[in-house]
Amino acid sequence: MKFDNRVAVVTGGGQGIGAASVLDFLTHGARVAVLDLDCAPLAAQLAARPALASRCMAVSGDCTDAAVVGAFFDRVEAQFGPVQVLFNNVGQSARERSSPFTESDEATWRFVIEVSLLTAMRASRRVAPGMRDRGFGRIINMSTDAAFAGDPGLADYAAAKMGVVGFTRSLARELAPHGVTVNVVCPGAIRTRAHDALKPEVLARIVAGTPAGFIGSPEDVAVAVNFLAGDDARFITGQTLLIDGGRWML
């Protein structure tokens, strides 16, 4: 199998894009560890698939807490072994606290930057030295097409997620000579729990602004993550892949 017994970590893997990627990795033979505040949706999906569930470690915890993250990776390495694939998926916008930048507050900026940028840096810092020393590794970071489009009301989120792009490129240059690739995916409109809370007229505007004419699924992102995590992507690093139905074209 493509990821036969390789160890993959997915942050924020309890639902949505993260959970879809977890299931994809498991289906292709990986052993997968998940850190998320709420792992219940993933557990529900795995309940009827015991063969996959037996290769998944789901830990409930806060990815913004350095002590929690450290303890999580200690447990992963003790139970599964060295991490070979890291998908830094966790992150979010200010959501109900979002506002025009002129009306925003610093506490919200700090939260968004912490959860959407620093979590990726923290987890990567933990696994990158081992990947470098072993001569193999795959790191996939999560950004968003909002970082490129500059959607109003998302200045903090766009700043954090464009920071992820810059971080990806710099880390990719450092690790490329050691057989480690680092890439970033940038989804657009994807049907997740956050999207389900949007008003119909908002969803209609999103669809109208997407050339493909529909909202993508978490699986549309998971297949791209799967490719970048595999051996076939060995010559691809430092790249930014937008998965948004053509809303923003590089």
Asked if 181 and 139 count as a contact pair (C-beta separation under 8 A), the reply is yes
Distance CA 139, CA 35 (A): 16
Distance CA 19, CA 24 (A): 9
Terminal-to-terminal C-alpha distance of the chain: 33
User: What is the DSSP-derived secondary structure letter of residue 206?
Assistant: H
Asked if 132 and 176 count as a contact pair (C-beta separation under 8 A), the reply is no
- With b for 16 or more beta-carbon neighbours within 10 A and e for fewer, the 192-215 pattern comes to beeeeeeeeeeeeebeeebeeeeb
Task: Report how far apart, in Å, the C-alpha atoms of 77 and of each of 47, 81, 216 are.
Answer: 24, 4, 34
> Six-digit token pair at 160?
């954090």
Catalytic residue flag (residue 2): no
Q: Of the candidates 115, 216, 188, 199, which has an alpha carbon nearest to the alpha carbon of residue 156?
A: 115
The total of other beta-carbon atoms located within 10 Å of residue 74's CB is 11
Question: C-alpha angle with apex 45: 40 to 47, nearest 5 degrees?
Answer: 90
Amino acid at 189: A
Q: Which of 157, 192, 224, 229 is catalytic?
A: 157
Catalytic residues, by residue number, are 157
